Amino acid sequence: MNYRHSFHAGNSADVVKHSLLIALVRALQQKQGALTLIDTHAGCGLYDLGGDDAQRTGESTHGALRAFVDLNPLLNDYRAAVQAVNLGAEPRLYPGSPQFMAQLLRPQDFLILNEKHPEDAYTLRGVMRGTAAAVHERDAYEFWLAMLPPRTARGVVVVDPPYEQLDDRTRITATLAAAHRKWAHGVTMIWYPLKDRGVHWRWKEQLRKLGIPKLLVVEHWLYDDDQPGIYNGAGLFFVNPPYAFTQALPPLLEALRSVLAPEGNRGQITTDWLSD
């Protein structure tokens, strides 16, 4: 599965991912202590919804553009973050995770980004110019471990690969196990696309066997029944999510499900704790 950011910017998965990212960081910021925010697969940082890649799929029509016309106040923070990089009422540009996190930074926080593709890394540096972000150009999984533990006591690692490589899930599992040994109390957020329930059930069982005490999985299924061979939605793993975040999830997830369900489908967003 190739999930390069530029082709899917602003789709339903981005709306869910970035809404939950905002909620996660805000929950951690209820304490004044500094945070280190780390993105292992940062991409370009900003995407043109009118560009060739995004227009080829047109997925933002069923994602960010729907969220913009919805009136649910629980999505206000998400809409404001997208609006911050746009001049008009309707978004033409879509911020990647680095931009969302940069907007959330307090003076005491740090933002560290990584993008392995040289052209994307070059673009990312330009997009993030004027912010406090440090940008690396390294193998994502080597970078992930090298950054741990961060300079601050608390932080978040965001892992959002394009799943171009067949071994991405295997590398995530191995790196997460090693990362948890180095930084057991750290918060990690891992995104993945959903195509086949069996594939993801098997991966969840592998992660369950890691024995991580607090591992939450959130899955957004767009359709009432599996649509073979196509994108069915996306999931997120959260390691050590803070209590304030998990308590605020149910109404936020219902708001997201409601606005993003395709016509004729109710869709569903499920949550589950993975533990032996």
- Could you list the active site residues? 160
Query: What's the CA gap between 47 and 230, in Å, rounded?
Result: 23
How many other C-beta atoms lie within 10 A of the C-beta of residue 245?
A: 20
Print the SS3 string covering the chain.
Answer: CCCCHHHHCCCHHHHHHHHHHHHHHHHHCCCCCCEEEEECCCCCCEEECCCHHHHHHCHHHHCHHHHHHCCCHHHHHHHHHHHCCCCCCCCCEEECHHHHHHHHCCCCCEEEEECCCHHHHHHHHHHCCCCCCEEECCCHHHHHHHCCCCCCCEEEEEECCCCCCCCHHHHHHHHHHHHHHHCCCCEEEEEEEECCHHHHHHHHHHHHCCCCCCEEEEEEECCCCCCCCCCCEEEEEEECCCHHHHHHHHHHHHHHHHHHCCCCCCCEEEEEECCC
In one-letter notation, the amino acid at residue 275 is: S
Tell me the chain's radius of gyration from C-alpha atoms.
17
Strands (E) in 122-205, as ranges, are 134-136, 154-159, 187-194
